[in-house]
Amino acid sequence: MSDARVGAARSERVRLRVAEADIGVEAAATSDGAIPGPDGDRVASGSGLSRMTDEREDVSRIVLVLNGPNLNLLGKRQPEIYGRETLADVEADCRRLAGELGLEIEFRQSNREYEIIDWIHEARGRVAGVVINPAAFTHTSVAILDALHAFEGPIIEVHISNVHKREEFRHRSYVSAVASGVIVGCGTQGYALALRRIAALVGAEAG
């Protein structure tokens, strides 16, 4: 199937899903806005829906930033590895940058796998893209991988530390199999890089 037809099919799926959910938002489901990514997949097609819309079409501008277990202790836990910035600092940086990029951020952290899965489910048909640092679940969670497979938009995986320089069990990521891109070892700056990439993939970047 061509990129345009994949985009159209995906848009139709979103439209149906929204109609089912009856959330009272009108879909702008065209394949025209489809922007192919390097892997020809996981790219927003102008079909996402949101409370925050622009004047051209009802394109979602929401990016869900998900953080896995122990990241609530960021800044305190192993600062020699993860740095001294707290998760609140990261959130503030993300919100500042999102404003510049014309995006809206939903920023969440959980130590519970099921909660992360539920948030991914709720993102379907509503959120433009997902930035996820699954933390330790990266290396263990088929369930998070499966949930991400059910999400239509781009996904950028972030790791603050360079997991490839660390223990061997950290070299394997289940999530990478579904990610459009992976940012590793750039410290907390990785979140900003991920947001910029999502903005480019969903066509939200001003310039």
Query: Hey, which residues are catalytic here?
Result: 82, 159
Cα–Cα distance for residue pair 35/42, rounded to 1 Å = 10
Residue that has been written with the tokens 């459009």 in this structure? 180
Kindly state whether residue 136 participates in binding ligand DHK, applying the rule CB under 6 A. Answer: yes
Kindly state whether residue 109 participates in binding ligand DHK, applying the rule CB under 6 A. Answer: no
Kindly state whether residue 70 participates in binding ligand DHK, applying the rule CB under 6 A. Answer: yes
Rounded to the nearest 5 degrees, what angle is found at the Cα of 174, between the Cα atoms of 171 and 175?
Answer: 105
Of 133, 144, 154, 179, which lies in the binding site for ligand DHK, with binding defined by CB under 6 A? 133
Name which of 26, 33, 39 is nearest 8 in CA terms: 33
Q: Which region among 6-14, 33-41, 58-66, 155-163 touches ligand DHK (by CB under 6 A)?
A: 155-163
Query: Among residues 130 and 135, whose Cβ is nearest to ligand DHK?
Result: 135
Query: Among residues 182 and 200, whose Cβ is nearest to ligand DHK?
Result: 182
Kindly state whether residue 94 participates in binding ligand DHK, applying the rule CB under 6 A. Answer: no
Of 163, 178, 192, 201, which lies in the binding site for ligand DHK, with binding defined by CB under 6 A? 163
Q: Helix, strand or coil for residue 48?
A: coil
Residue type, 64: L
Kindly state whether residue 110 participates in binding ligand DHK, applying the rule CB under 6 A. Answer: no
Binding residues for substrate: 133, 139, 146, 160-161, 170
Question: How far out from the chain centre does Cα 15 lie?
Answer: 20
Residue 139 C-beta: closest distance to ligand DHK, Å = 6
Of 160, 192, 199, 204, which lies in the binding site for ligand DHK, with binding defined by CB under 6 A? 160
Cα–Cα distance for residue pair 149/15, rounded to 1 Å = 18
Cα–Cα distance for residue pair 51/86, rounded to 1 Å = 29
DSSP strand pairing (129-133 vs 155-159): parallel
Of 13, 15, 95, 170, which lies in the binding site for ligand DHK, with binding defined by CB under 6 A? 170
CA distances for 163 relative to 91, 156, 168, 187, angstroms? 22, 16, 9, 11
**Residues at the contact surface with ligand DHK, assessed by CB under 6 A:** 70, 133, 135-136, 138, 159-161, 163, 170
